[in-house]
Amino acid sequence: MPIVSRGFHGRRPTDDRKLPPGQFETFDFPVLSAGPTPRVAQEDWELDVTTEDGARHSWDWAAFTALPMETPTVDLHCVTRWSKFGTEWQGVSLDVLLGDVETAAEFALVHAYGGYTTNLPLEDLLDGQAWIVHRYDGEDLAPEHGGPARLLVPHLYLWKSAKWVRRIELRLDDEPGFWESAGYHDYGDPWREQRYQGD
């Protein structure tokens, strides 16, 4: 039986855009990270995809930026309860990056410069659901937002969209990442409000 907060009226979103449960809309772009922002120069940046057999696929900045680009416009939902509608990105679909990779993996553990990790089912990275993005709002992605490049998986809470992405480790088994080991949900669907373990 929820209690009513006497005298509280609140603010509803003014248009028909739907917010996931427990979220509110923000118009700026907050930064939430667990530690200092890693600084990685484009010329030092590298992205690896590794498989359960030890195979490795690598792209440096030049190779990555030569791949076919997409410009997704997506809504972001952060577990700290802010949502931001209509953000515009540019980057490479994971369908492109993973297209030639041979694997029986069902899970991915994403590693970032600075040591951050996050896990997700491999199928959530495929079928036009995820990108490695290097531009935001027409500009190079700033370091505090994960530049040079970050993962973008907008249908899950934003902690899954690892900033400063360095390696995607394809695995047969699921290995919890940084926040997932700290009590946050393994999957993190904003529409089912999967914030914490057990939600």
Partner 1 sequence: MARTALSGRLGDRPRWRTGEVVDRHAESATATTLVLHVPEWPGHLAGQHIDVRLTAEDGYRAHRSYSVASAPDGERVELTVQRVPGGEVSPYLVDELLTGDFVEIRGPVGGWFVWRPEQGEPVLLVAGGSGLAPLMSMIRTRDAAGSRVPFRLLYSVRDPEARLYATELRKGSPGLDTAYVYTRTAPENWPRPPGRLTAEDLVRNGWPPDFAPACYVCGPTGFVERAAAALVLLGHPPERIRTERFGPSGG
Residues that bind partner 1 (CB under 8 A): 2-12, 22, 24-26, 28, 30-38, 78, 80-82, 114-117, 144, 178-179, 181-183, 196-199
Return the number of the residue (90 or 117) whose C-beta is nearest partner 1.
117
Q: Is 98 helix (H, G, I), strand (E, B) or coil?
A: helix
Return the number of the residue (35 or 68) whose C-beta is nearest partner 1.
35
Closest CB 46 distance from partner 1, rounded Å? 19
Return the number of the residue (64 or 159) whose C-beta is nearest partner 1.
159
HEC string for 38-92: CCCCHHHCEEEEECCCCCEEEEEHHHHHCCCCECCEEEEECCCCEEEEEEEEEEE
Closest CB 194 distance from partner 1, rounded Å? 11
Q: Write the CA distances from 79 to 70, 71, 129, 192, integer angstroms.
A: 26, 24, 19, 12
Residue 141, judged by CB atoms within 10 A of its CB (0-12, 13-18, 19+), counts as buried
For residue 25, the tally of other CB atoms under 10 A from its CB is 16
Give the C-alpha separation, 161 to 177, whole Å. Answer: 12
Closest CB 29 distance from partner 1, rounded Å? 9
Structure-block tokens of residue 104: 């029986």
Return the number of the residue (19 or 126) whose C-beta is nearest partner 1.
19
Closest CB 179 distance from partner 1, rounded Å? 8
Return the number of the residue (59 or 107) whose C-beta is nearest partner 1.
107
Closest CB 11 distance from partner 1, rounded Å? 5
Give the C-alpha separation, 156 to 191, whole Å. Answer: 9
